[in-house]
Structures are given as structure tokens and as C-alpha cells.
């Protein structure tokens, strides 16, 4: 049999393949469209939230003729940005969550924005303090807020009326919350729960922030977790009281019957849970999925000890960052600064039905906003006791462990103290490892960042 492909031809073919492979690995030339530099912008949003940002991107692209922003919705954008940055081909701008900042900054995945932001006319005093704080870590500015949120108690007014409670008077303390809870909870004939006033695991998204409502925090901001401190003890004891009062398996059985969050079967809409902690975005889902005539209220979530006049809230925000190694940081900052202009920020936040991160809010924004409790959320964000969500370099491990141990306590399978102590041992060790690593690399990193912010 005669081979059509000789060995030397085969080798030449392989050489060509190798060349093509290497060529695809080498850095690309700047991408241009009609002479305009193309910036790659990755965002997490889809649906109407994406559309709101797309309109701002269009405005930017129409406002000048040097830069063209290519806007791409990317699922699990935080992981993909990490891999792209590690591979040396990060996008120019990325929309992350503020909780990503500590670990991304410590791992040198981000570019400090201090100098670029100052150069672009961005001023700290233009922002509500809590949102600026969320964008800063270890003394550097890493991001600017895009669309922020604060948490509040949402309650179902119809369920309040049916339970003989005043639908305009939400609970103000944890003790009151539990009194209301007892009145709002109904059981079936077989003893299972038909509805409940409140359960901490619904939706359970802020377990790591809950110690704040007991007057404390999860860590000291530098090296020590505070799970042993009194507020955390109170928080876990409060959790432990739930299976004793309602039955752990009964609560989880009730929860097993809940539908998807973004559906008419959301337990808050269909009367299974009367009081929940939620963010400003909840109104979007209420408008879309709740039954006609659904009545709800929103106010500061009750604390263990009442603080009249200065409500407590936990703030979080979506952010815009420039990854380390991005090829066009100045142009990227130009785009971020455009988004940060009051007119454009308000357009974006209006489109996503969220609050504004800026101190100054226009009348137009307030008048055109469709959220019935916009003023409540805006004043919570303005409160002197508004706190940033947990900003920990081991956030994901901590939050994951918190859900595991909280669920074990709520199921009645682990005592409050055992859960707290076990979690503290695990998580303090994880934090120590990160702090240790940070201490090793900090001098070099900080020097590098200092150089980047004072070029």
C-alpha cells in the first residue's frame, strides 16, 4: 500500500499545525471597528438588567468616536474573569459583585483605580459612604459601584390582617419579630406547617451578615473572626430556637414545597412565608410574579435592640472593575467614568429599578422610579448605620460553611454552640492561611499598586 502522505509531508503538516497553535496563543493586535478601539466588557446581567446597561453602553458608544465598547453577558463572570486573567487575556472591564473584591485584590487580579479614578474626576464625596467603602480594600480603590442594593424586611400585609396584626406596623425588634412569627404561623391537621411568619433560611442569602442585627460583626476586619463574640452567640441561639418552636424537619418540609424564587410559587407571593429579608430588587419580581393586588410593606429589618432614628441595613453593590493585565486601562476608566456620571448612573439604576449609589439624587429619578418603597431603601442606604456586606478574603468558604452549619442548627441536628465552635475552628484556620499568604506577598504587592496609582 502506498501512502499518499510522506513522512516529511506529515511533519510539515504538523509543523504548520504547531505554528497555527502558537500564533493563536500570541497576544492579539488591538481590535478596532471603523478605526475605533474596541473595549471588551463582560457583565453578569441578563434580561431587563442587561437591557438597562446595554442602553448606557449605546449612549457611551454614541457619545464619542474613539472607543467602542463590546458588551457581553457572561454567566459565572467571576470565575471566567479569574481564568481569563490567569491566562493573560482578561477583558477590559468586568461587572462583578463587591463580595469578590477582597480575594480578587489580594490575588492581584485587579487594577487599583485610585489614580485613574482621580484623573477621571471621580470623587469619594459624590458617593454614599457605604458604597464607596464596598469598593475599597486595604486602602486602595478597586472598583466603582454600578447598581447597589440594601436589605430590608418585606412583609405580606394580607397575612398580617388575617393574623389580626396591624398591616402598617412591622416588627421593630427580634423579640417582636418572633411574637409576630407565632401569630402568623399556621399548622395543618397532621402537625405539618401550612405557613410560617418567618424562617431564617428563607431566602437565607445573608446568613454571614446576620450577626449585625444582633449588634456585632463576623470579623474584626483584619485577622480575627468573631464567632465567639456575644452577638454571634446570640445569633446562633436565636437560630437554635427555631427547630424547638417549629420543628426542624417541619420547616424544611415546608421549604421543600416552595417554588422557584423567580416564579409565582415564590413562598412570599403565595402566602407561605409572611416576612422575609430581601433587597431592593424584590419589587421587580413582585411586579412580575405576585398575584394581582398583592400588598406588601418594606422597612428596616428588626434588630435585637431597637435604635430609633438610625436604621440598620446591609448594603451590597454590583461593581465595575478593570482586571490586572487589561490592555486599555485608561480607555476602560473612561467608560467606567461615563457610567458613573449622575445622569447615566440614574438611567442604569432606573432601568434595573434599583437605588442610586450617589449622594445626589435627581427629582427625575425619584419621580420616575417605579418602586413604591424607593424612599425607604434610599434612606436605609443613607443611614449612618448602613453597613457593607461581609468583606472577607475567605468570603466564599465562610458563606458556604455558614449555610451548612446554620442548616444543621435549624434542622435540630447540631447545637448552636457546637456549630459555632466547629465553624470558628475551620474558618479561622482558612483565614489564617490567607492572612499568612497576604503577609508574605504584601510588601511587593503594595509597592506595585503604589506604583500603579502614582505612575
Question: Which residues are near another protein by CB under 8 A?
Answer: 3, 7, 10-11, 14, 17, 79, 82-83, 85-86, 103, 107-109, 249, 252-257, 324, 394, 396-397, 400, 403-404, 407-408, 411, 413, 426, 430, 433, 437, 440-441
Contacting residues for 107 by C-beta, under 8 A, at least 6 apart: none
Smallest separation, CB 136 to another protein (Å)? 20
Smallest separation, CB 256 to another protein (Å)? 4
Cα 362 from Cα 100, distance rounded (Å):
30
Q: How far is CA 60 from CA 24, 39, 56, 83, 141, in A?
A: 31, 12, 6, 28, 23
Between 134 and 402, name the residue whose CB sits nearer to another protein: 402
What 427-431 contacts at long range (C-beta under 8 Å, 24+ apart), as own/partner pairs, is: 427/225, 427/227, 427/394, 427/397, 427/398, 427/401, 428/224, 428/225, 430/394, 430/397, 430/398, 431/219, 431/223, 431/225, 431/392, 431/393, 431/394, 431/398
Smallest separation, CB 257 to another protein (Å)? 4
Q: Does residue 76 sit in helix, strand or coil?
A: coil
* Ramachandran area for residue 76 (φ above 0: left; ψ -120 to 50: alpha; else beta): left
Between 33 and 425, name the residue whose CB sits nearer to another protein: 425
Cα 324 from Cα 328, distance rounded (Å):
11
The separation between CA 308 and the C-alpha centre of its own chain, rounded to angstroms, equals 27
Smallest separation, CB 214 to another protein (Å)? 24
CB 94 within 8 A of CB 321: yes
Between 103 and 284, name the residue whose CB sits nearer to another protein: 103
Between 11 and 310, name the residue whose CB sits nearer to another protein: 11
Between 11 and 175, name the residue whose CB sits nearer to another protein: 11
Between 5 and 292, name the residue whose CB sits nearer to another protein: 5
Smallest separation, CB 413 to another protein (Å)? 6
Burial of 242 (0-12, 13-18, 19+ CB in 10 A): buried
CB 213 within 8 A of CB 173: no
Smallest separation, CB 396 to another protein (Å)? 5
Smallest separation, CB 79 to another protein (Å)? 5
Smallest separation, CB 172 to another protein (Å)? 32
Cα 39 from Cα 50, distance rounded (Å):
17
In angstroms and rounded to an integer, the radius of gyration of the C-alpha atoms of the chain is 25
Between 226 and 411, name the residue whose CB sits nearer to another protein: 411
Cα 348 from Cα 355, distance rounded (Å):
10
Residue 205 is placed in which grid cell? 442569602
Smallest separation, CB 94 to another protein (Å)? 14
The separation between CA 102 and the C-alpha centre of its own chain, rounded to angstroms, equals 13
Contacting residues for 169 by C-beta, under 8 A, at least 6 apart: none
Between 82 and 144, name the residue whose CB sits nearer to another protein: 82
Smallest separation, CB 449 to another protein (Å)? 14
Between 241 and 400, name the residue whose CB sits nearer to another protein: 400
Query: Which of the 8 DSSP states describes residue 389?
Result: P
Between 95 and 102, name the residue whose CB sits nearer to another protein: 102
Amino acid at each position: 500500500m502506498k501512502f499518499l502522505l510522506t513522512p516529511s509531508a506529515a511533519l510539515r503538516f504538523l509543523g504548520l499545525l504547531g505554528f497555527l497553535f502558537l500564533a493563536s496563543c500570541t497576544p492579539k493586535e488591538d481590535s478596532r471597528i471603523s478605526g475605533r478601539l474596541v473595549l471588551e466588557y463582560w457583565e453578569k446581567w441578563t434580561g431587563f438588567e442587561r437591557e438597562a446597561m446595554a442602553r448606557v453602553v449605546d449612549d457611551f458608544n454614541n457619545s464619542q468616536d474613539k472607543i467602542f465598547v463590546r458588551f457581553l453577558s457572561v454567566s459565572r463572570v467571576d470565575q471566567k474573569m479569574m481564568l481569563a486573567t490567569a491566562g493573560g487575556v482578561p477583558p477590559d472591564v468586568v461587572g462583578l459583585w463587591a463580595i469578590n473584591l477582597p480575594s480578587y485584590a489580594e490575588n492581584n487580579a485587579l487594577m487599583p483605580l485610585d489614580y485613574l479614578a482621580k484623573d477621571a474626576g471621580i470623587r469619594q464625596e459624590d458617593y454614599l459612604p457605604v458604597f464607596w467603602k464596598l469598593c475599597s480594600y486595604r486602602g486602595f480603590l478597586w472598583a466603582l459601584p454600578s447598581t447597589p442594593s440594601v436589605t430590608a424586611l418585606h412583609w405580606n400585609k394580607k397575612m398580617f390582617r388575617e393574623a389580626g396584626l396591624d398591616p402598617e406596623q412591622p416588627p421593630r425588634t427580634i423579640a417582636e419579630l418572633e411574637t409576630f412569627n407565632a401569630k402568623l404561623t399556621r399548622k395543618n391537621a397532621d402537625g405539618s406547617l401550612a405557613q410560617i411568619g418567618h424562617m431564617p433560611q428563607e431566602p437565607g442569602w445573608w446568613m454571614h451578615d446576620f450577626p449585625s442585627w444582633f449588634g456585632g460583626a463576623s470579623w474584626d476586619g483584619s485577622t480575627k473572626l468573631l464567632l465567639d463574640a456575644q452577638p454571634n452567640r446570640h445569633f446562633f441561639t436565636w437560630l437554635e430556637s427555631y427547630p424547638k418552636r417549629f420543628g426542624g424537619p417541619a420547616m424544611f418540609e415546608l421549604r421543600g414545597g416552595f417554588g422557584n424564587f423567580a416564579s409565582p410559587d415564590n413562598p412570599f407571593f403565595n402566602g407561605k412565608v409572611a416576612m422575609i429579608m430581601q433587597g431592593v430588587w424584590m419589587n421587580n419580581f413582585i411586579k412580575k410574579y405576585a398575584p394581582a393586588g398583592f400588598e406588601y410593606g418594606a422597612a428596616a429589618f428588626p434588630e435585637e435592640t431597637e435604635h430609633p432614628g438610625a436604621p440598620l441595613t446591609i448594603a451590597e453593590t454590583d461593581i465595575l472593575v478593570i482586571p490586572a493585565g487589561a490592555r486599555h486601562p485608561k480607555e476602560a476608566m473612561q467608560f467606567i467614568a461615563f457610567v458613573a456620571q449622575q445622569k447615566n448612573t440614574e438611567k442604569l439604576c432606573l432601568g434595573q429599578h434599583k437605588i442610586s449609589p450617589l449622594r445626589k439624587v435627581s427629582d427625575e429619578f425619584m419621580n420616575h422610579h417605579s418602586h413604591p418603597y424607593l424612599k425607604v431603601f434610599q434612606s436605609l442606604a443613607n443611614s449612618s448605620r448602613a453597613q457593607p456586606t461581609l468583606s472577607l478574603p475567605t468570603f466564599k468558604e465562610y458563606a458556604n460553611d455558614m449555610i451548612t452549619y446554620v442548616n444543621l442548627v435549624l434542622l435540630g441536628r447540631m447545637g448552636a454552640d457546637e456549630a459555632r465552635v466547629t465553624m470558628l475552628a475551620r474558618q479561622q484556620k482558612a483565614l489564617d492561611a490567607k492572612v499568612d499568604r497576604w503577609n508574605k506577598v504584601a510588601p511587593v504587592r503594595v509597592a506595585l499598586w503604589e506604583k500603579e496609582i502614582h505612575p
